[in-house]
């Protein structure tokens, strides 16, 4: 047992390692008996439990690493807090989704748990529409943002003038909050005085009710989100392009490849890691589009045709006070998030990056 505490002490106190070496040296000198014998380790530690704990610690070290026990005092407290306030809350939310809890009249009844809220969701046309809109938003927003970011990164990587200025301009919208972005695009999409209608009016088109037409409102929201996050994709791709050796470009040119073929067949395939990382982050941002839609209309009900699972979840929980139904929608969103992040974590683990 003393050996375990000494290892923990060495992890906390930098100077304790030197003291331990001195004590070990002194212990070796004391281990020599005057009659020529040698003191056995077990004879100095009559507590047999110490040997068992030492063997247990050695087994844990062999399985999880030599610094697992020493570092536990640093990672166990935040691990417990994370488990209580994050994953504990997720489990509690899942239990609420199995009840019929509504309003604030009584506490949830956990004696009769079932999946009624999930079957209700599958039979709810509003939930189905919100799920479809969420899927369209994630796919279109992620693919469009990656495409715009890649084009911008290629243009900047070719050594244009004022490169730093353009990079700052493209990245600046990402620093804005969803609230600011929503107000900005609410002004642009204004039916009477918006810039969008003024621009298309120059070619004799419009005006168009960008936020009132349920056929195009979702695409208007996607375009606004692409404007905000294309700078992030540009930075990720630019870092990937700068990591590709110049020899690859030169070899492609020597083989007679055109610029388009060089990027399509040689350069872009080497950006697989950057594409996966950026896509995961963008999908997470897409799932958090509730802030944008809420600020766009100033309420829980987004424009017709732009309702997503996040807005429906909040509306059911806080406007209609259907807590169990809102919790079920939240669990569906959580499962979608796991479906996005889970494969990415497996991919990084197989590359030994985790």
Burial (Cβ within 10 Å: 0-12, 13-18, ≥19) of residue 141: buried
In the block, tokens 């392009």 appear at 241
Q: Locate tokens 């949830």: which residue?
A: 108
Cα–Cα distance measured from residue 210 to residue 189, given in angstroms and rounded to the nearest whole number? 6
The pLDDT score that the predictor gives to residue 141 is: 94
DSSP string, 143-186: HHHHHHHHHHHHHHHTT-TTHHHHHHHHHGGGGS-HHHHHHHHH
Top-level class of domain 121-350: mainly alpha
How far is 302 from 318, CA to CA, in rounded Å? 15
DSSP notation for 226-267: HHHHHHHHHHHHHHHHHTS-HHHHHHHHHTT--HHHHIIIII
| pLDDT for the residue 62 | 63
Per-residue pLDDT of the chain (354 residues; tens, 9 = 90+): 445 545 555 555 555 445 544 454 444 444 445 555 554 544 444 455 566 666 666 666 666 666 766 777 888 888 899 888 888 889 999 999 998 888 876 777 788 888 999 999 999 999 999 999 999 999 999 999 999 999 999 888 877 777 788 888 888 888 888 888 889 999 999 888 889 888 888 888 778 888 888 889 999 999 999 999 999 999 999 989 888 888 888 888 888 888 888 888 888 888 888 898 899 999 988 888 888 888 888 888 888 888 899 999 999 988 888 899 999 999 999 998 888 888 888 888 887 776
pTM value?
0.74
State whether the Cα torsion 334-337-343-347 is positive or negative. Answer: negative
Residue 207 CB contacts under 8 Å (≥ 6 apart), including other chains: 191, 192, 197, 200, 201
As given in the structure block, the two tokens for residue 83 are 């488990």
pLDDT at 306: 87
Compute the half-sphere exposure of residue 83: CA atoms within 13 Å on the CB side of its CA: 6
Q: What is the pLDDT of residue 17?
A: 46
Comparing C-alpha atoms, which of 3, 50, 59, 53 is closest to residue 27?
3
User: 279-294 burial by CB neighbour count: b if 16+ within 10 A, else e?
Assistant: bbbbbebbbebbebbb
Q: State pLDDT tens for residues 146-188.
A: 999 999 998 888 777 777 888 888 888 888 888 888 899 999 9
Q: Domain residues of the chain, as ranges?
A: 2-78, 121-350
For residue 168, what are its two tokens? 């700052």
């Amino acid at each position: 047992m003393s050996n375990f505490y000494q290892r923990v002490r060495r992890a906390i106190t930098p100077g304790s390692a030197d003291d331990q070496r001195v004590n070990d040296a002194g212990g070796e000198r004391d281990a020599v008996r005057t009659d020529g014998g040698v003191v056995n380790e077990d004879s100095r530690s009559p507590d047999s439990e110490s040997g068992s704990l030492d063997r247990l610690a050695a087994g844990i070290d062999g399985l999880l690493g030599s610094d697992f026990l020493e570092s536990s005092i640093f990672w166990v407290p935040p691990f417990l807090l994370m488990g209580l306030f994050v994953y504990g809350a997720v489990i509690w939310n899942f239990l609420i989704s199995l009840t019929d809890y509504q309003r604030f009249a009584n506490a949830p009844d956990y004696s009769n748990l079932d999946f009624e809220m999930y079957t209700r969701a599958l039979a709810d046309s509003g939930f189905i529409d919100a799920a479809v809109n969420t899927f369209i938003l994630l796919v279109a927003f992620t693919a469009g943002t990656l495409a715009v970011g890649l084009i911008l990164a290629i243009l900047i990587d070719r050594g244009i003038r004022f490169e730093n200025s353009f990079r700052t301009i493209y990245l600046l919208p990402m620093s804005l909050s969803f609230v600011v972005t929503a107000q900005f695009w609410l002004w642009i999409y204004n039916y009477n005085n918006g810039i969008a209608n003024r621009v298309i009016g120059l070619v004799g088109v419009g005006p168009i009710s960008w936020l009132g037409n349920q056929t195009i409102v979702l695409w208007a929201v996607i375009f606004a989100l692409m404007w905000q996050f294309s700078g992030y994709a540009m930075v990720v791709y630019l870092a990937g392009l700068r990591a590709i050796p110049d020899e690859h470009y030169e070899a492609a040119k020597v083989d007679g490849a055109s610029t388009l073929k060089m990027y399509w067949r040689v350069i872009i395939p080497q950006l697989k890691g950057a594409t996966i990382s950026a896509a995961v982050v963008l999908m997470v941002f897409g799932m958090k589009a509730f802030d944008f839609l809420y600020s766009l209309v100033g309420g829980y009900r987004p424009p017709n045709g732009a309702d997503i699972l996040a807005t429906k979840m909040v509306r059911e929980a806080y406007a209609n006070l259907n807590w169990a139904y809102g919790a079920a929608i939240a669990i569906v969103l959580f499962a979608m998030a796991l479906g996005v992040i889970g494969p990415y974590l497996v991919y990084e683990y197989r590359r030994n990056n985790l």
